[in-house]
Each structure stands twice: as C-alpha cells, then as structure tokens.
Structure 1
Amino acid sequence: MVADGLRVLFCGINPGLMSAATGHHFARPGNRFWPVLHLSGFTPRLLRPAEQQELLSYGLGITNVVARATARADELTAEEYIEGGRLLAEKVTRLRPRWLAVVGVTAYRAAFADRTAKVGPQERTIGDTGIWVLPNPSGLNAHWTPATMAEEFRRLREAADGPG
C-alpha cells in the first residue's frame, strides 16, 4: 500500500502468518501498531487492519522489509534482510516519501548494515527521504509500552508535519 510523495512510509519487518492470511499489515490481534498510530495522532480514529487503505488519505503508506511470511521475524535470514533493504531503498528512491519509518530497530540494523542504530531519526537518508527507526509494536516487545511507543511515533509525526 504505497503511493508517490507520502509523508511517511511505514515499513514492517515481514508479514506474520495472520497478515499473510488476511492481506492486512499488522493484523495479529495484540499487535500495537494500529492503536499506537492513533494514539500518536497519525490517524483521527483507531483503524482496523482491514481499513489500511485509509492510510493513503493521511499521506501514509505501509510496506515490509521482507515479503516472505513467517510465524516469527527471527525465522528470516541475514540474506533476506540485506536483499529486503536493497529493494526497500529502490522503492523509496522511486516513491520519494518524506520519511521512511522502519518499525523495529533489529530489522533496520540487519537490512541496512548499521549495527549501532537506535530508535529515532537516523543520519542516513535515501535521496531526500529521512529515515526514522520506530520500536517494534509486537506484543513480544514488552519493554515498550503503548504510551512510550506513541511518544516516539508522535516525534516522527511532528517531524513529518513540520516545514521541510
């Protein structure tokens, strides 16, 4: 679900089995992406995964680093992450979003060979597109609460909404 010139292109790691079955990003019950997106002010109401197409009307899009569905992200290989990062960079170059938001610091580190990356804005860009690493909203990432995740998403929203 992408388009040219988005404010933010969100990028998950890869589809989980529920997302692969439904065709909707972050579809697993308990995944906090959609609630956090709303809490941070990106969407005026809580969207369900089946309503992901509405993101385009807010200047938002969504994609993945790796297309292959797995039960857990740790089933992906280093080669899949590297190839996914290469393909993602091509997509970003073509679509020119203002920000690429990679949801998961481990995925960003693996896809872009940046072992020291931390959550937040990155020095690296892809053309004129800034890169922001967000916490993974999976329920397995328990040390980030919905409130602390929403604060990081809000920081990105403010950057995306600002002059530029």
Structure 2
Amino acid sequence: MITLPPEYYQLPGLASTFGLSIGLFRGSRKAGLQYLAENAHKAPRTVKGWYEYKKVKNSRMILAGLHQGGKDALKLAALGVLWVTAEEVTSQVGPMAAQGKELVAAVGVSAVISSIYRLPKRQVFLLGFTFGLSKMCLRHLQAPSGPAAHPPVNPQN
C-alpha cells in the first residue's frame, strides 16, 4: 500500500495556488491591454462614458484573469502531482532508488515540460538535474546524523 507523507499533499495545493496567482496577474493585465488596444479609436468623451469604459474594462480583466488563473493552476497542480507520483514510485522501487527520488522526479518533470513546450532538452535536463540534486542534498542535510540516527541492525544486550 502506498502511503504519502503530508508534504506530498501540500505540494500540488501550493503549486495550484501559485499558478492561480500568476494566472490572475498575467491574464488580467493582458485583457486590460487588449481592451485598451481594441477601443483606442473610440475614447469616451463624457464622465459617464469614462465610467462605462472603466467598468467594462475591469469586468473583462477580472474574467480573463480568473480564466487564465484557472488554466495555470491546473497546469502547475498537474506538475505537482507528477512530481509527487515520480518521487513515490521511485521510493517504492527499492532503498537504493529511494536515495535519488528527488533527482528522478526533477528530471522526469523537466522531460515532460521540455516535450510539451518544445524547449531545448539539454538545458531543461540540466536545470532539472541541478534542482533535483539540490533538493536531494537538502534532504540529506536535514536528516539526523550520529549514532542515534542509525541504530544497530541486531543489538546484543
């Protein structure tokens, strides 16, 4: 049976929240600029006209931001789930493979990103390898060390 640590539940949620915030910002800014470009030739001349112009622009910005935010949240949540799945599958393979689970997850996710967005494979692979190696080193540095961390296999009392 596969059991997941609590950190694995938090990663996709945090990734989707991050994606939502990025998408809200980018989508609303793009919609605002698009509305400005589409209506540059017919600028309002009255106060009521400016009120309507701003109201429509703001409502389009909100809707476009929510739309783009939802798309980005789903993308990043899927990458978070892929990362968690790759780590867990690698740790289930065996104890030797579990030592490099972050490295396998980072390289796997970078390969998926590279193939989807048609990015240069070598650069994306090196970036994923570097990120996975640094995450693996952080895990080893945070692990307790000393005799208490490694009890004897067959203690004789």
TM-score by length of 2: 0.29
Report the structure, 1 or 2, having the larger strand content: 1
TM-score by length of 1: 0.28
Question: Which structure carries more relative contact order (alpha carbon 8 Å, separation 6+)?
Answer: 1
